[in-house]
Amino acid sequence: MSSSRRLGPPDLPTTAYAILGMLALRPWSAYELTQQMRRSLNYCLPTAESVLYQEPKRLVRHGLVSAKREAVGTRTRTVYRITAPGRKVLADWLATPLPPPRLEVPVMLRLLYADQASKEDLLEAITSARAWALDRAPDALAQIRGYLADGGPFPERLHISSMFARFYIDLFEAIIDWCDYAEDQIRTWPDTANLGMTDQTRTLLEELEVRLREFADRDAEQRRHQSGRRAVMQHRLR
């Protein structure tokens, strides 16, 4: 891709691209758009509702989205539609290099400084983290059952929606499994401070070393493959 291609206004945030993506599917009223954004993107891009209402207005000013007032009974509503420039900006953004993920997991912060508090405080934090993950299940289950029943609002995109759902269900399961494991381990601690290299800790670190060796081997293989591809491309360009 040429470095001269414009990727949209320089101050365009990720939320704006997410809204462009949603509008690429169909026009939405301001209320509908906010509700669908919360339904679809609350896990990967949690955003304040006020931002979801304001960001389309900025996209309108940039000419990436159009807004039209429509009558609904005795009331009116604003309906947003993506424009041709908006589709191009979205496509350009989707072709840019992917930034690293940013995970914010509050229970990990509580664990990191657990030696400054009581064991009971840490166990309570772990209980809360597991409860949060388990609490995702009812809504997620209803959504999956809706997909199976009638395909949901966008049945033509089920191949994408199901992969999206798989990632977050795996994540919820990982949080639940970790909480179960951590709770069992921490209950055996006499306290949260100054335990150091216990037999339990050494066993865990040795298990993690084995797992990370597998990751490292896979990374090395991927780098060799990428290096080989670059060498082939350079040879073809000579």
Dump pLDDT digits (tens) for 68-115: 998 887 888 999 999 999 999 999 999 999 999 988 899 999 999 999
- DSSP bridge pairs for 75: 72
Task: Give residue 4's pLDDT.
Answer: 41
Confidence of residue 224 (pLDDT cuts 50, 70, 90): confident
Domain ranges of the chain: 14-94, 103-195, 201-238
pLDDT surpasses 90 at 28:
yes
Task: Give residue 5's pLDDT.
Answer: 46
Q: What is the mean pLDDT of residues 221-225?
A: 87
Burial (0-12, 13-18, 19+ Cβ within 10 Å), 89: buried
Confidence of residue 193 (pLDDT cuts 50, 70, 90): very high
Q: What is the mean pLDDT of the chain?
A: 90
DSSP class of residue 155? G
Q: Which residue has the tokens 């229970």?
A: 107
CB atoms within 10 A of CB 112: 9
How far is 215 from 174, CA to CA, in rounded Å? 18
Confidence of residue 198 (pLDDT cuts 50, 70, 90): very high
Q: Which CATH number fits domain 14-94: 3.30.390.50, 3.40.50.1820, 1.10.10.10, 3.40.190.10?
A: 1.10.10.10
Helix, coil or strand: residue 28: strand
Q: What is the mean pLDDT of residues 121-143?
A: 96
